[in-house]
Amino acid sequence: MSTYRSLQRTEAEARAALLTIESYDVRLDLAADEATFASTTTIHFDSLGGPTFVDLKPVRVHRVVLNGSPLDPDVLDRGRVPLETVSGPNQLVVEATMRFRNDGEGLHRSVDPADGRHYVYGMSFMDAAPSVFACFDQPDLKAPYTVTVLAPHDWTVVGNAPATSPEPGLWHIGPTQPLSTYFVTLVAGPYHLVRDEHDGIALGLSARQSLAGALEADADELLTMTRQCFDEFHRLFGIRYPFGDYHQAFVPEFNAGAMENPGCVTFRDPLVFSSRVTRGARIRRATTVAHEMAHQWFGNIVTPRWWDDLWLNESFAEYMGNRVTADVTEYSDAWTHHAYARRQWGLVADQRPSTHPVAGNGALDATAALQDFDGISYAKGSSILKQLNATLGDEVFFAGAIDHFTRHRFGNATMHDLFASWEGAGAGDLSAFTSNWLRTAGPDTIVLDRAAGVVRRTPPAEHPADRSHTFRVATAAPGAGWAISSLPVDSPETPYDVAEGTAVLLDPFEDTFALVQPDATTVAALKTLLPATDDALLRAGVWNNVRSAFHNAAVSPADVVDLLEAGLGVEDSDDAVSATLPWVLGKVIPLAAEGSLERVHRAVLRKVATTEPGSTLQLSAFQAAVASSAEPDALRQWLRGAVPDGIEVDLDLRWAILVRLAVLGATDVVELEAALDAEPTATARVEHTRARASLPTAEAKEFAWQRFTGEVDVPNYELTAAGHGMWRVGQEHLTDAYVDRYVADLPATAGARSGWVLADAADAFFPGTSLREEALASVRTLLDLDGLDASIRRRVVDQVDELERRLAVRKAYPA
């Protein structure tokens, strides 16, 4: 794979000062070949005159013409074609052959194993657009696009503006509103379409033909949520959605949850539910739908000038997506889901050595910016905006946002522009808030010191800050229930007397963003209190306190298992089961005493037996029963359909059972191949890879490793499934030898793949189950390696920190 230069911020600033882009005309031929496509781009732009470059990542360059004069195609150097522009209007024409990709970036082409049909979609985010068309690839050089597509006659093409087809196989899209390059997309193939309309906006849904029935079944819910969200965003912002049609395309092998391309949002197609799912899964989809709709204003109408402000996109959409979902859809419990699904993502990321400020993260180049597309930019930033909204109130908060959208409509802006709009709307001076909360990394640690009678607030030593917090505290005296009070913490020590034996939970309702942990007295009391706690959000706060404490070796694996046993019986939120059980099984059980897995398994079986048949709570408990089972005979009975009333062994559950049998060594390659052949869907293909890699055999681990090194090329979902399947607790006799192989082979993977999936593979194949000091010492050597790709390094830094923390738990609480 060719090495491309990542755009430096200084280069982007110089190019933006030099150029104004008037329009793009992009012509793509998707019909001629299955491996490559022809791309012709005509760019009209004004220049002050002088040298610059256009970004291009082709298989071959056929023609480059600037202002009527041909340029030597061989001047292409690491993704850039140098240009000598003239003062005034310029025209650039680039003809090239591009490669279809299978890593979820650029123009991704996928073959559905269910029926052999081909599907294409565009993902131009960050630095992938030049692998589709020639462009000045940075967020602050916006322009309208006209796209012409030649496609097979049985394909439909959807893009950033309404598409027309004057003849079979020919499609015209646009001109669009002014777009950043990273928003440009098209979705092309024999997709199944559902169309509707709301408030003058044409609505559309699409998915692969093999998912047509599932899409039809989900269409009413999806379209209802879309209508509800449009109405609420129009009410809150007072600015209508301006991008024409609103199409939501569910596409195969998509890396992210979704991408907010104006007019044509792309989602990962497992969000079209072909098997039964929990309520939590539906809430996750609902908040994703609302999140991408929020982006149509924050991100699409007004786009950050540079990637250091990507938090403005994601934090705002995260906050608004959850708020609007909770306020106007059937999922009023969205904030409980958020507590279980997102809180720890942000808190853990903020405690890593790789932590960074929410805003002003440096982002010297596009590659560096991609590494900060994490729980800090989403979950922490969202929490801070939620706090700001609580402080300012809706009137000022939305008045500032509306002023921001109006001043910078279809343009670019910075954090300073937004905060100036808030201050102008009556927020007062926000400079201290910005400095302490947005420009300073790391969470404050807030703990109760019973002996001293104080609550202590300690900022990270390496990131000093002076943050004021106001949050609710839940207390329960011995023999009593919970009482809720408010506590302002604006100094290093806040007096707080508590009676002996009283349980104290700090910030259980996520009123602030801080690292809070229960002390030993509280942990002991929770074993009685948790089963009597009827507030789902308070229970989520209990588990977030406990998870933070475990992450910092401040609570034992034994206590966690005790709490799970105590609380599971009365839990009525499937979010609690679906979020807590995988964490317990993945992080806690490997460090717990012998017999702990059996205790957890018995607890979830009791939950299955005592839960309403057919409920999503029963489903989440049964999923946990499968994942925790060490009994091949029981798994075999379930696979044959001998399951509790209310449970159906559909495709997802069938493969979950097969994967667990593989981990236990109770199946083989022949059975797994037969299961794939019997129902060859995209989901089955990925889970087949996971199961193959999970088998406790040398051949299985080599099967996975060939995918890691790139010796065997597979699409992105299969690649990460192989990594997750490879490293299994109890298989260390097979995998320990791969620790040093990981260290040796990881750097070269940058020659086999790039972008998002390069980092994902480094993460998925990290030897996280090798809980040995020798393994830690080995992987640490990667951190001192010169020339290691930045995205790989970031994942290794985070995973080394995780391994160190797991070993710290083992040292503190020997099993």
Catalytic residue numbers read 292
Give the integer Cα–Cα distance in Å for 721 and 795.
Answer: 17
Residue for token digits 């269910």? Answer: 114
Q: How big, in percent rounded to 5, are the helix, strand and coil portions of the chain?
A: 45, 20, 35
Locate all alpha helices (DSSP H) within 640-697, ordered by sequence: 651-663, 669-678, 682-694
Give the integer Cα–Cα distance in Å for 360 and 438.
Answer: 8
Longest dimension (CA), the chain: 86
Residue pair 815/557 in contact (Cβ under 8 Å)? The answer is: yes
Give the integer Cα–Cα distance in Å for 392 and 320.
Answer: 16
Give the integer Cα–Cα distance in Å for 668 and 611.
Answer: 34
3-state SS of 751-807 is HCCCHHHHHHHHHHCCCCCCCCHHHHHHHHHHHHCCCCCHHHHHHHHHHHHHHHHHH
**At 91, is the secondary structure helix, strand, or coil?**
strand
Q: Which residues contact 73 (CB under 8 A, 6 or more apart)?
A: 61, 62, 63, 64
Count Cβ atoms within 10 A of the Cβ of residue 169 and give its class: 0-12 exposed, 13-18 middle, 19 or more buried: middle
Nearest to 722 by CA among 748, 770, 688: 688
Which residues of 174-315 form beta strands (DSSP E)? 186-189, 192-198, 201-207, 246-251, 258-259, 264-268, 302-304
Amino acid residing at 733: H
Give the integer Cα–Cα distance in Å for 269 and 249.
Answer: 8
Nearest to 604 by CA among 586, 588, 618, 583: 618
Give the integer Cα–Cα distance in Å for 181 and 771.
Answer: 44
Q: Which residues contact 637 (CB under 8 A, 6 or more apart)?
A: none
C-beta atoms surrounding 545 within 10 Å: 25
**Phi and psi, residue 543, nearest 5°:** -70, -30
Task: For the chain, give the number of residues.
Answer: 815
Amino acid residing at 113: P
Residue pair 144/181 in contact (Cβ under 8 Å)? The answer is: no
**At 48, is the secondary structure helix, strand, or coil?**
coil
Residue pair 147/174 in contact (Cβ under 8 Å)? The answer is: yes
In DSSP terms, 746 is beta-bridged to: none
